[in-house]
Structure 1
Amino acid sequence: MLQLIQEYIEKLKKVDEQLERLTSDRNVIETELTALSNAINNQSESFGRIISFSHDCVFILDRNCRFTYASISGAQLFGLKQMDMIGKNWRELKLSKEMMIPFEAYLKTVFMLGIPTSQVTRAVFPYGIRYLEYFLNPVFNKHHVVDAVFSVVRDVTQRKESETVQKQLTIQYLDESQRLQQMIDTAPMAILTVDRDGFIIASNQLAAELLPDITDKLKMVINSHLDAGGLDDSDEALIARALNGEEINGFFRQDRNKSFLISAYPIKEYNTDNIVGAIAYYQDISELENLRNEYARLDRLKLIGEMAAGVAHEIRNPMTVVKGYLQVLTNKAEPDLQERYSIIMNELNRIDTIVTDFLSLARNKTVTKEICNLNNIIAGTFPLLQADAAESGIEIKLNLAEVVPELLLNEKEIKQVLFNLSRNSIQAMQPKGLLRIETKVSANAVKLIVADNGCGIEADYLNKIFDPFFTTKDTGTGLGLAICQSIVERHAGKIEVQSKVGKGTSFFITFPTSEKNLMN
């Protein structure tokens, strides 16, 4: 019995020891819980102070859209106090439907999907319209279920206004840029801009048409000119000189069949005057140059015509006497001298022909014009042309329009044009060559075409072939084509030429059929 009592006492001691240990562990746990609780309270207070100092509005909401927390600035946003908002939803607080209905929809989406979101909304307050940006972030519990939503609301009215102003300025800038580009594109000159390295950064449509060879590969070339000082007068050198600070005004350049006035200027920064690029203007003055050359040609023709009219009488009178005496001497001369007299007579006739050609160059020469049919004139000269062509082994083909309108022409002068052009073509061809004479009718003109498949004319000569005394022949006077042009212009017409070396040459003569031109 005693033994049982002792065993029971021993068990009581052990239980007492366990209770002492449990009491000690409880005290430790309670101490740790108290410390943890104090830390949490301190963190909460710190978090509250941080939020209270922040300009952002902070809210915590539950699934029923009730505010479980609201910062001071958050409550002030709606003109309320913190404690007025806690435990209430926006309907109870009578907040703006315009803002809160979309807000509630996004809030439910965050609870459902657990994904953060942000939006910008427009809100109307008694003190005015504001733009608010709100961020909704899910708060998960230990079961990974969204238990609340942490929301930060920020007033972005100033930013929104700045964006609006920036957008308006951007639209205005784009409008101004488009207007400027349209002005540049419609400018009657080629314009291109290069950066400091010589790359083309802007150009108008006319630049692409007039300057197809200038591309951004100019960089290497311009840099070489910059290093060399840009001493030559190429396009690249002119732009390089502008990049070096030089202003170039009205530099004349002729390229192929185009004439340009080139100006180039450096582009500088507004405040520093540092050169950041260059701009070049190419003004096409080809038409002006052609007019200037045409006026010069007409002046030469006028001078030649006046000279021919003045000296023709003085030359022909003594020539008539010389030819008369020469004919008498030829009749009385010995047979061996008659051939020499014949050579002299031929040369006198040649002089007479040259004087006649001089007179034909006179633009103000008075000629009698009559209503004629161009096809009939061609048909009348065809036998003579065919005879000349046959001597050189040349074939002539006629391709005349079936019906051509009547024209006011001087038949003799039109025949002279046909003879001059045809004989030039015959001389330019080898045996078995082909000469084509055609007429075509358009709405207000009749076109005469004389074409061959001869040797062609060098491109460098095409602009000179109508100049008086210009010839590539050893025995030519250089007056034939000048006479043709003078005659055509006296008939209010136009003569043009197309030629390719080794392929042949074609002359196109256009006679107007309008009543006004016929009257002229």
Structure 2
Amino acid sequence: MKHNMSIINEENILWSILEGTAYAILIFDNENKIIEVNRSFEKMFGWKKEELVGQKAKMESFIPDQWEDQAKEVLENVLNGKEIYSFETQRYKKDGSILDVSCTFTPILDENGMIVGGTTTHRDITEKKSAERALKESEERYRSLVETSPDVIAVHSKGKFMYMNPAGLKLLGFKRAEDISGVSITDYIHPEDRPLVRERIAKMMETSDQLESIELKVVLPKNKVINSSVSASPICYRGQSAIQVIMRDVTERVRMREQLQLILRSAGDGIYGVNQSGEITFINQSAAEMIGISEKAAIGMRMCELLTNQDEALIKIEDDPIYRSLVNGDAVEVSNQYIRRQDGTSFIVDYICTPIKENGIITGAVVSFRDVTERNNTEELLRKSDKLSVVGQLAAGVAHEIRNPLTSLKGFLQLLQKDAKDETETYYNVMLSELKRIESIIGELLVLAKPQAAKYDRVNILSILNHVITLLTSQANLKNIEIIQTYRLSQPIIEAEENHLKQVLINILKNAVEAMENQNHGKIFVSAETNEQQNELKIEIKDEGPGIAEDRISKLGEPFYSTKEKGTGLGLMICSKIIKDHGGKLSIKSELEKGTTISIVLPIKQSIQ
């Protein structure tokens, strides 16, 4: 009884194992009749046990045509007592679909050692085979891409070629793939690039990191040199560490880039590019020179750091048209933009900003600008010239109409003076003196009407300054204004028209006194110094008056514009013209509540007599 129970338990255990395994198991006898299948078989192939047990296993129901001969051979071997382990094949499922399986066949022996049947164990390897097929397809696609690629694709280890695709073999002059094996990669690198290549190989072998692409010069047969873009990445090839190289001929691209750079360098306009953050990515020589910075130092700068308004205050980034262009993608044109140079000075430009888009995404912008400072100055001179022309014509007409009756008055006065008595002689002299002064004023007006043929003589500037200051000292004293003189004249003699210089200095010094008359105190500083090396005499007249606003200084010297309540602006305009006719320059600096300084620079010797 115990023996039978032991047998039952053993059978139960074996059956439990059979039903519990994930493998599909089929048991058949030596007549190929199905004796048993487990639950995993039902699940894997779709048949129920009752559909199969007792039935003869039909090959056409289980085995695809291409595997029939293999199945017959396996069955024959099993029934002859041979075990067959884990061979891969395919089987039909009940629904007709094909399953990839790994099969193990084992013969069943009776107590006499006779073969009475066999077992088949099936393991589903569909996912494995799908992965293998996908890998194979991928390898085939990659191999096809490599073999047909127009780019050079090569593999090397320790600087020696192991593989090269047909494009590479053709480029380097090899007929067979095996001819490249063991050839040094540096044999085809230009000598100036070899140290860099060796350094990159060592770095990749040490870190296994892929490095960014670089441009190298590659030497081809017959010493032909091409420019190539080369990328490299570490791989495992034939079981050893290696480096895969992809090389593309960019000679034409480099040539076009060099031509573009030549165009950019030779362009008179400033051109620079910015990325999406507004940082400069390239800049041509003209732009760098205008800004006063090297091309290398400009890279990475933000141009908004140099954009200012007319008051030299930096523009806020949200007000920067270039920044707005990068945000909204619209091209912008801007006129009269101030740019601050590195030395602190500014110049005026017109510029166009054009966004760069890649696949609809703004990646940066190109800005081209032109220095229009000289153009604006010329336009301003033309505007002043037009005004001056109108004033000149008016002055000529007025002077002509006054001069005719003035001549008559002067003639009759001179006739009457001959018969004048002693007590009236003084009156006649006064009237004639005033008429002479009117004639002088008319002469000043005519200065505006037409060029005067000035006669330059050797004059003593010190004497002229002393004479002018003597004339205005009494007026200054009445206002409690002190005139302080400082002279550093190594050579006081200059070539000039004396009366015209006196006219200029009287006008300027008189303006300085009048600017301070409401203060009833103060000082006027008059200085003069010569620079014989530069053939220059510089005169400065500085007052301590209320000063002039900066936005009004540029308009001084224009006709009909004056800081005085009843001024016409003609006085300073005449002064500027006289100094200009002398080949000199008159400039004005002023600061509110601190005073005004007028500088006159004259040549010591005139180049044209």
Q: For the superposition of Structure 1 and Structure 2, which TM-score range results when normalised by the shorter chain?
A: 0.5 to 0.7
Measure how far apart 1:452 and its partner are.
Answer: 1.2
Consecutive unaligned residues in structure 2, runs of 5 or more: 1-156, 163-176, 186-200, 207-236, 292-302, 340-345, 417-430
| Among candidates 395, 400, 403, match of residue 316 of structure 1 | 403
Relative distance call for 1:377 and 1:216 in structure 2 (3 A) is closer
**Pair 1:193-2:274 in alignment:** yes
Instruction: State the Cα distance separating 1:467 from its structure 2 match.
Output: 0.5
Change (3 A) 1:322 1:285: same
* CA separation of 1:383 and 1:129: change in aligned 2, threshold 3 A: farther
**Pair 1:258–1:388, CA change in 2 (3 A):** farther
Greater Cα offset, 184-193 or 291-300? 184-193
What percentage of aligned pairs have identical amino acids? 28
Matches within 5 A, 1:140-219: 154=240, 156=242, 159-160=244-245, 162=246, 165=247, 180=261, 183=264, 188-189=269-270, 191=272, 193=274, 195=276, 199-202=278-281, 205=288, 206=291, 207=303, 210-211=306-307, 218=317
Note if 1:120 corresponds to 2:158.
yes
> For the structure 1 residues 135 and 276, does the alpha-carbon distance in structure 2 shift closer, same or farther, using more than 3 Å as the test?
closer
Residue 458 of structure 1: aligned partner: 549
Q: Are 1:438 and 2:476 an aligned pair?
A: no
Cα distance per residue 1:107-142 (max 9 Å; x no partner)? xxxxxxxxxxxx825489993463699999xxxxxx
Residue matched to 2:145: none
Gap change, CA 1:409 and 1:372, over 3 Å in 2 = same
What is the CA-CA distance between 1:282 and the residue it aligns to? 3.8
Separation in 1, partners of 2:352, 2:509: 46
Deviations 1:397-445 (A, max 9, x none): 1111231263221100101111111011111122321111111222221
Question: Which residue pairs with 1:496 in the alignment?
Answer: 587
Question: 1:404 corresponds to which residue?
Answer: 491
Listed as ranges, the matches of 1:50-449 within 5 Å are 120-122=158-160, 127-128=179-180, 130=182, 154=240, 156=242, 159-160=244-245, 162=246, 165=247, 180=261, 183=264, 188-189=269-270, 191=272, 193=274, 195=276, 199-202=278-281, 205=288, 206=291, 207=303, 210-211=306-307, 218=317, 221=318, 235-236=320-321, 240=324, 243-249=327-333, 251-253=334-336, 259-269=348-358, 272-319=359-406, 355-362=442-449, 364-404=451-491, 406-429=493-516, 430-442=519-531, 443-444=533-534, 445-449=536-540
Tell me: CA distance 1:418–1:279, structure 2 relative to 1, closer, same or farther (3 Å).
Answer: same
Give the secondary structure class of the aligned counterpart of 1:453: coil
Q: What CA RMSD, in Å, does the superposition of the two structures yield over aligned residues?
A: 5.1
What one-letter code is carried by the residue in structure 2 that aligns with 1:247? Answer: A
CA contact (8 A) 1:453 1:503 kept: yes
Distance 1:435 1:275, change over 3 A: same
Q: 1:361 is matched by which residue type in structure 2?
A: L
Whole-Å separation in 2 of the counterparts to 1:216 and 1:416: 45
Counterpart check, 1:475 vs 2:569: no
TM-score (norm. length: structure 1)? 0.55
Cα distance, 1:354 vs structure 2: 5.7
Contiguous gaps of at least 5 residues in structure 1: 1-118, 137-150, 223-234, 329-343
The answer to whether the Cα contact below 8 Å between 2:269 and 2:369 also exists between their aligned partners in 1 is no
Is the 2:388–2:448 contact (alpha carbons within 8 Å) kept by the matching residues of 1? yes
Distance 1:187 1:386 in 2: 55
Contact 1:439–1:447 (CA under 8 A) maintained in structure 2: yes
More helix, by proportion: 1
Structure 1 252/354 Cα, relative in aligned 2: closer, same or farther at 3 Å?
farther
Task: Give the 3-state SS of the residue equivalent to 2:563 in structure 1.
Answer: coil
Residue 479 (structure 1) shift: 1.2
Q: 1:438, 1:216 → 2: CA distance?
A: 40
Aligned length, in residue pairs? 359
Higher relative contact order (CA 8 A, sep 6+): 1
Q: Name the structure where strand makes up a greater proportion of residues.
A: 2
When normalised by structure 2's length, the TM-score is 0.48
**Distance in 2 separating the partners of 1:437 and 1:186:** 48
Could you give the per-residue CA deviations for residues 150-206 of structure 1, whole angstroms, max 9, x where no partner exists? x9863847x25x3xx48x979x98x969x95995799653746352xx644547552
Q: Which amino acid aligns with 1:252?
A: S
Contact 1:199-1:217 within 8 A present in 2 as well: no
Q: In the aligned structure 1, how far is the partner of 2:454 from the partner of 2:315?
A: 58
1: CA distance, partners of 2:433 / 2:332: 60
User: Do the aligned residues in 1 keep the contact of 2:489 with 2:529 (CA within 8 Å)?
Assistant: no
Distance 1:377 1:215 in 2: 46
Structure 2 CA distance for aligned equivalents of residues 440 and 135 of structure 1: 74
Aligned to 1:53: none
User: How far does residue 262 in structure 1 lie from its aligned partner after superposition?
Assistant: 2.7
Quick check: 1:301–1:363 contact (8 Å CA) kept in 2? no
Which amino acid in the other structure matches residue 470 of structure 1?
Y
Instruction: Rate the CA distance shift 1:266–1:208 in 2: closer, same or farther, 3 A.
Output: closer
Shift of 1:485: 0.1
Distance 1:354 1:318, change over 3 A: same
